[in-house]
Amino acid sequence: GELLSAADNIETVSKVLKKFKLELGTPGGDYASLMALFHSTNGESWTQTTGWSSDNSSSWYGVKVNKLGRVIELKLSKNNLGGKIPYCIYFLTKLKTLDLSDNPNLSGTIPSSMSQ
């Protein structure tokens, strides 16, 4: 169930981190978390996927980064995300704005530590 889903997302993030020699808490770590989000929420079926196939997350639809390349905003409302909200968004430690509203096939909760 939910624990397995969280483990799968963490495993996906870990694989991307190792493959590209990236670390959490860096732009590369944010990239790994975003890729895990994409794959775990049926990214191929999203309404808008502009830029999501590139290595530069600053050009991705719904993503805004700061001067250091860290994700600070993720706005994917009305974008046909599906499945469970993945735990990997917890790793986006500089995230200030998160909008996943109006995705009727998306379920789950945002980690409580992110809503402070």
In this prediction, residues 12-27 reach a mean pLDDT of: 64
Long-range contact set of residues 12-19: C-beta below 8 Å, sequence gap at least 24: 12/36, 12/39, 12/40, 12/88, 13/88, 13/91
pLDDT digits (tens, 9 = 90+) for 34-59: 988 998 899 999 999 999 988 888 89
pLDDT digits (tens, 9 = 90+) for 97-115: 999 999 999 998 876 666 6
